[in-house]
Amino acid sequence: MSKKKKKKYNPKEYQEKDLLVPYHEVKLAKTTHVMDHPLVEHKINIMRNHKTNVSEFRSLLEEVTILLCYEAMRGLALEDYEIVTPICKTIGKRISGKKLTVVPILRAGLGMEPAVKNVVPVSRTGHAGFFRDEKTLKPQKYYWKLPRKINKRQAFVLDPMLATGGTADAVIRKLKKKGCKSICFMCVIAAPQGVEVLQDNHPDVELYIAHLDKGLNKYGYIVPGLGDAGDRIFGTK
Ligand code: URA
């Protein structure tokens, strides 16, 4: 019996406009911040290229995450404390309150976490593992571990891709259920559908997005996107 060979997917054969599932333009809320910076644009477009290898992709993801942190952490509260410099005593400032918490959504969020740890080495890490139930299409939790006293900590949820928004919504709901009052969501590429879901369901959550893309294809991938972020970070297919 002859088996028909499946044709290999070739992105060169497709135009973004032909893949997009129609969706209206989303009105950005005051809590949604889209980065507008040449460094970010330049790096993201190298990440998009299907020829960019795993190690380059990871480095660029970390560089973009550091730039996102710079914006997302602008509002951190400071407190005064005394420092003695080689010259004299003075009053300096440091970040106040309980150690902030980074919550990477498994698995692609793990690619952003080292960058946040670089800029905030004392931060704590929680892990949020969710998969999509093929029947209900709803996100199902398979792993969840947070630092103690999450109700007193500021949480920075990480996922490079905000697509339909289903998983991000589930993670944020669960953090709120645990008493977390201050939540920020950080992603590299967002689709309008995901932004709308988070804006509607969580008007109190700040969204930091490096780039807002055109939309989703029928399989839920962001267009033009960068493919499966987890595969690109971990070299899987
Ligand atoms: N998750 C990804 O990794 N990529 C997409 O395009 C959408 C969701």
Domain holding 111: CATH number? 3.40.50.2020
Tally the domains of the chain.
1
Domain membership of residue 103 (yes or no) is yes
Range of the domain at 191: 23-234
For atom 7 of ligand 1, the residue with the nearest CA is 221
For atom 5 of ligand 1, the residue with the nearest CA is 221
Average pLDDT, the chain: 95
What does the pLDDT read at residue 183?
A: 97
For atom 4 of ligand 1, the residue with the nearest CA is 228
Domain membership of residue 8 (yes or no) is no
Domain membership of residue 14 (yes or no) is no
**Ligand 1 binding site (Cβ under 6 Å of any ligand atom):** 108, 161, 163, 221-222, 225, 228-230
Query: Residue 66 Cα, ligand 1 centroid: separation in angstroms?
Result: 21
Domain membership of residue 15 (yes or no) is no
What does the pLDDT read at residue 137?
A: 75
Domain membership of residue 4 (yes or no) is no
pLDDT in tens, 132-172: 887 787 899 999 999 999 999 999 999 999 999 999 999 99
Domain membership of residue 71 (yes or no) is yes
Q: Would you place residue 2 in the very low, low, confident or very high pLDDT band (cuts 50, 70, 90)?
A: low
Query: Residue 61 Cα, ligand 1 centroid: separation in angstroms?
Result: 14
pLDDT in tens, 17-55: 999 999 999 999 999 999 989 999 999 999 999 999 999
Query: Residue 1 Cα, ligand 1 centroid: separation in angstroms?
Result: 37
For 27, 108, 197, 227, 237, the CA distances from 231, given in Å and listed in that order, are 31, 8, 25, 8, 6
Query: Residue 78 Cα, ligand 1 centroid: separation in angstroms?
Result: 36
Query: Residue 107 Cα, ligand 1 centroid: separation in angstroms?
Result: 11
Best substitution site from 197, 221, 223 to test ligand 1's pocket, by max atoms within 8 Å of Cβ? 221
Domain membership of residue 3 (yes or no) is no
Provide the whole-model pTM.
0.94
Domain membership of residue 41 (yes or no) is yes
Query: Residue 144 Cα, ligand 1 centroid: separation in angstroms?
Result: 21
